Structure 1
């Protein structure tokens, strides 16, 4: 039986990236860091022999251990009966073998009919957690026997047919890379495989898959027929070796009656209590959330993995990233916009003793008020939580906003 890159559950478009038969779980790397992958003794000189290059890539990826993936799946189907298309944006992170989170957002058109949906799936300790795209409720199932994913785990590299593979050396975004082309036997979704891999570290930069999949794979967004539909996947790999911890969804056992609920980052060590009556919007990004309150207030949460050489520019160029410079960066961005007036930028200490900053700003001549908690963790991880409401409502909830900010903690 042939397997496909994407399996879609019947209730909405839930995209789960899977591998073909025969894949097994890799052993966790001894030292899951980017440096260890660079220094791995298995690295080879720029050979173009697939029998040497492919195993070396697999070894380097195992050593890296964790990474993020940004991908896009596209279906373009044109026949005499009409046209239909699908674009699915995929944001994912892998903390290690068998531990990942995948967030998808899809838009489809069939003739004159359009539709869209989103989904979120997590695998933690052999358990799969899936958020229903309609109700927002989580379902739980066993994922203990799940095979490594072709793209999320980059398992495609280990399944390429070596005898038909070719390897050349080219450039990608100004970097020397191996360009591996080949196929995976008996996998319709991977009839043509291209993998771009750094020559210096043997880590995957990009994977392109071209193949076909049945219309039933796409949760009713596309017309179902006996034909396999043409599809392509382009996946980019980022942030190798960064500490990533995929969490169990915090509201998995929520009873809906609590005065507070817990915000828990999907992959970072951040947590904060927020009012229990705030409802979470549909997640369309891996990092970041929006919650809507009963009185019209809104809470935005964003997390950033920063490269200070590219995001610290102008006044902040050359500055050491810390809580003050990170908050100042946000303040500068606000002042560049004509929509906001910055009221204050002050030091703030959480109940757990974390040194943070609170920025207060307004818009529409003071009609809308905002409070922003800014925190910087380690060398490159930023957190921001922003409450906003019309002035009358803001005055009612200001104390509870600060109370929520005080609960912000770093998970050990």
Structure 2
């Protein structure tokens, strides 16, 4: 966290004070939690500090991003009116404007929007796309990092296009023209893309293969959102509004919900046979599984299916208490609960809970009945079962010390 003493600001990491600056901003942790970066200001200049090492000074810095593997870092920077992306300390080409840098899933490439003259381009390395008047959203890599998708707007022709190309920005394939297009989503296998589109006052979900030569529109709706694919990429799911009705679309099937809106992306069971979603009505939220509404709650985290898909668990806040709910059955109440996960065989559930200001790991049976509460600490994170399900592993902090804890859960 950032702190201030007199006229200086500094970052505190694990109770240790970092170097003081005129100001600090935008603290970012790497995905693995082991690295930290932030912007620091001294004498009117700003630079990025990564793991305690200061980068070059600039007039401005924005969008600090770690790669998925946590090994690389990128951010936007400004100097004398020119903008560029800095990757691992190396400055890229200068542009009049830039968008947020996006890492590929394999962490090897970075894509971003950049303006030059009157056109905006997608930039990957030293390659630039042909250009458009505007790009509606940041570019999206396919899961295998071989393709890139983006949305072009052409003002003169009053058209918006979905484009898919190779990451070398070759083999460009454009979809149908629409008035507006939402964020593009790749299927897990990378063979299809889906997105929301608008034409003549109506909204559609559009699904096409990566080449863009086999497109299909959904029924017409007033609005569409939260588009996603099943694990195997064969099913498309989305939320829609039509004449005041709230609908969950699964391919060509529509399921109506008595809800004001939907929250989060729908979640598929591991075998894709079941779907869970979170809906909101009258300020309350509830989980809907296979069309059946669950308990009303004040807040709900995304639900999780058991490995065999037969059960579902989620953390919630209900009547002022943090509770874990398994198939509509409440567990005990705590101040807060976090991240319930099933063991590999689905026989146990583990989650973090807070009581009296301290955090501890709770292990419950598959029905949510508490089997054991492990000792409390100041903070606990990254709890997980061992592959054989016999142990629970987590990181713990207490008395300015950090530990990796391995607790036996077999035969509890």
With normalisation by structure 1, the TM-score equals 0.22
Greater RCO structure (CA 8 Å; 6+ sep): 1
Higher relative strand content = 2
With normalisation by structure 2, the TM-score equals 0.22
Higher relative helix content = 1
